Structure 1
Amino acid sequence: MLLAVSGGPDSTALMHAAAALRGATGVSVQVATVDHGLRAGSDAEAEAVGQAARTLGLPHAILPWSGPKPGTGLQDAARNARYALLAAHAEAVGAGLVLTAHTQDDQAETVLMRLAAGSGLAGLAGMPAERGLAPGLTLGRPFLHLPKSALLAWCAARGIPYLHDPANANPRFARARLRASWPALEREGLTPARLARLAERAARDEAALRSAAERAFDTARRPGAPGGAILCLEGAALAALPDAVALRCIDLALSRAGGAPRRLERLEALVLESLLPALRRGVPVRRTLAGLLVAAEADGTVSLAPAPPRRRRAAGAALAAGVPELLGNGDTPAYIGEVCTDGPEQPRGMSVLGVAHAKD
């Protein structure tokens, strides 16, 4: 297995715990540190992690994020680069498992950030304890149920040194601004443990709704796709569904038809404000979303086809509202779908959920 170790207390605890358990499990353990190159001294910090890993008898590699860095969305870009580099290195060394040291505190911050960005249940489910990172490669988070304080105490009890990342307190980043608000939030009862429990409940309910939507999709799908349609659905079956299930059923249909990732609010506008009311009244409607034309015909058939080309509206009109420096504005929008954006960018046609940030 490959450990992602930045040198902070959480990942340092992960490295020492894995080294201690290595003999008992017989698992081959390697360590990698991604050097994002975003501040002076990051290369020396990565090398310090390498020295600590070698002291424990663990092979270590530094994975540099090279090339130009974006002026906006830096943490999202860093996250995507980090997982891509880890996945490539895992493949190179033959690892089937990548472990990160995300804690309950990280999960709580993720839920808060997604709440601020307007995510639905799928986004509020936070980070999963385990998910696929690439074909044949699993990403695991064994500390997701532990508070950060437990890992700090574990390192302190053993005299294990670790690094401090100044970005964790940089108010430029939303996650750091949220950390500064924890004392006030906890006084009102909004603790990391309660937010982590919310994530578990949201994940449980989202899984049930997604399963119901998959069954509904299989029932509603019509064989064949006449004309230029990619797939067709039985409108009467869709109209009979609860709104939450119908929303996810159409989201699934958009993904199966090759639609681009879409904002949750736009999906809601399509399904709840246009498509379902039209189907329930028996009137036709045509709307576009995610590069697809979604049409309900007079006979009740719902078809998905490539959207016709159209002129782009002026960027100024499309970006009218919002104050970028406020939490949740200017960040990655909320999505609904099957895959959480806490890894490499997904290929076209796969819907994503939540709001991704560098710590995810």
Structure 2
Amino acid sequence: MPPPRSLQDLPPKAAHYCLGVERFIRDELRADLSGARVLVAFSGGLDSTALLLSMRYLAGRLDLDLRAAHLDHGLRSESAAQAEACAAFCEKHSVSLYRHRLELDPTSKGLEERARSARYTFLEKVREETGASWILTAHQADDLVEDVLLRLVRGTGWPELGGMPGRDEKRRLLRPLLASPRRDLQVFLEQIDANWLEDTSNVSLEHRRNRFRHQVVPLLEKENPNLSEAVHRLWSLARWDEDFWREMGESAVPANNRDGSILLAAEELAAAPRALRLRRFKAALEALGPGQPLMRNLLNLDQAFLERRTGSTIQFPGGKIAEVKRHVVCFSRTPDSATYND
């Protein structure tokens, strides 16, 4: 049986689901995709299949130029066959697919992170080559719940505790399904009689995310069946807070000194509320490059500053340090780069 050709051909509930995705992109992600070229990260699994098809049926309404990209990591015996299945699926739905295969060593350390990094590098390469405005990934509401819990366990501060952003300007990423629970995606695909591939790696409890998915989240959902909705509200609050600070200009930091360090004046910090002071610390650290400024370290720095412990240094991930001086707090990447004396 051929698939539905347009949004108008869908069953009413499936069409309503697609329109809900459009509304989330427009109202919550504040992205205008009208006439845009977009690239869907397509693995063939349930989530990315729902994303690709929802955008496929919105393409006529939004005048979208829809493309897809599939990266075969070469880590499973069935991955080549799955790549072929993805190609056949895209051909069936008249979507151009860009494919690439890697040969990663499955026994190497940090495999999950290297695979993730390779995936985003590939997607960005295809985006640039095709001139796409955005990369669309299929992270959905259940992924957001897991992400928030993982961030909580790691000690992530606010507003990052609210979970992954739905819109990432720097990487040109959109996550249109963040408000859609996985069960809704499955119902949508079943209504239009669409098939998807099962990823056997999602069952293994070797990865922490899978342990949260199969063991921790079900326990929390017994306590609160509306856990996903609660997390979405938290996500929304975090985004509003980020927008507020951005509009207030409080994420801006002084330019780097010639030695690469960043200085914040102690007098201005002392006059600021703690929430603002912590945000300025965080902005200075982020301006120095990669490495997440953990909340625990930020609080330790703030306490050292309040107690005027001149000479105290706090280390942060990414080879960064903050040193409390008499008239400034100095942020640098290495001890040797902090040359300011007062």
Counterpart for residue 188 of structure 1: 223
Q: Which amino acid letter does the alignment assign opposite residue 269 of structure 2? A: L
Q: Which of residues 55, 78, 88 is equivalent to 1:51?
A: 88
Q: Which of residues 131, 139, 159 is equivalent to 2:173?
A: 139
- Alpha-carbon distance in 2 for matches of 1:177, 1:162: 23
Cα deviation, residue 17, structure 1: 2.3
Secondary structure of the corresponding residue to residue 151 of structure 2: helix
- The 5-angstrom pairing of residues 193-212 of structure 1 reads 193-208=229-244
Contact 2:74 2:104 in 1 (8 A): no
Cα deviation, residue 166, structure 1: 0.9
Contact 1:229 1:303 in 2 (8 A): no
Q: Which amino acid letter does the alignment assign opposite residue 310 of structure 2? A: P
- The answer to whether residue 315 in structure 2 is matched with residue 289 in structure 1 is yes
Q: Which amino acid letter does the alignment assign opposite residue 95 of structure 2? A: L
Counterpart for residue 202 of structure 2: 168
Secondary structure of the corresponding residue to residue 21 of structure 1: helix
Counterpart for residue 355 of structure 1: none
- The 5-angstrom pairing of residues 339-358 of structure 1 reads none
Counterpart for residue 298 of structure 2: 268
Percent identity for Structure 1 against Structure 2? 30
Q: Which amino acid letter does the alignment assign opposite residue 168 of structure 1? A: N
Q: More deviation in 200-209 or 88-97?
A: 200-209
**Aligned residues, how many?**
296
Which is helix-richer, 1 or 2?
2
Per-residue displacement from partner, 1:253-272 (whole Å, max 9, x unpaired)?
2344x365254156325422
Counterpart for residue 19 of structure 1: 56
Counterpart for residue 276 of structure 2: 245
Secondary structure of the corresponding residue to residue 305 of structure 2: helix
Secondary structure of the corresponding residue to residue 161 of structure 1: coil
Query: TM-score, structure 2 length as denominator?
Result: 0.76
Contact 2:145 2:228 in 1 (8 A): yes
- The answer to whether residue 7 in structure 2 is matched with residue 7 in structure 1 is no
- The answer to whether residue 192 in structure 2 is matched with residue 158 in structure 1 is yes
Q: More deviation in 284-293 or 172-181?
A: 284-293
RMSD of aligned residue pairs (Cα, Å): 2.9
Q: Which of residues 125, 135, 138 is equivalent to 1:98?
A: 135
Q: Which of residues 80, 83, 89 is equivalent to 2:120?
A: 83
Secondary structure of the corresponding residue to residue 65 of structure 2: coil
- The answer to whether residue 151 in structure 2 is matched with residue 114 in structure 1 is yes
Contact 1:90 1:96 in 2 (8 A): yes
Query: TM-score, structure 1 length as denominator?
Result: 0.73
- The answer to whether residue 246 in structure 2 is matched with residue 215 in structure 1 is no
Cα deviation, residue 178, structure 1: 1.4
Counterpart for residue 149 of structure 1: 183
Cα deviation, residue 284, structure 1: 2.8
Secondary structure of the corresponding residue to residue 250 of structure 2: helix
- Alpha-carbon distance in 1 for matches of 2:251, 2:204: 46
Counterpart for residue 67 of structure 2: 30
- Which structure exhibits the higher relative contact order, with contacts defined as CA atoms closer than 8 Å and separated by 6 or more residues? 1
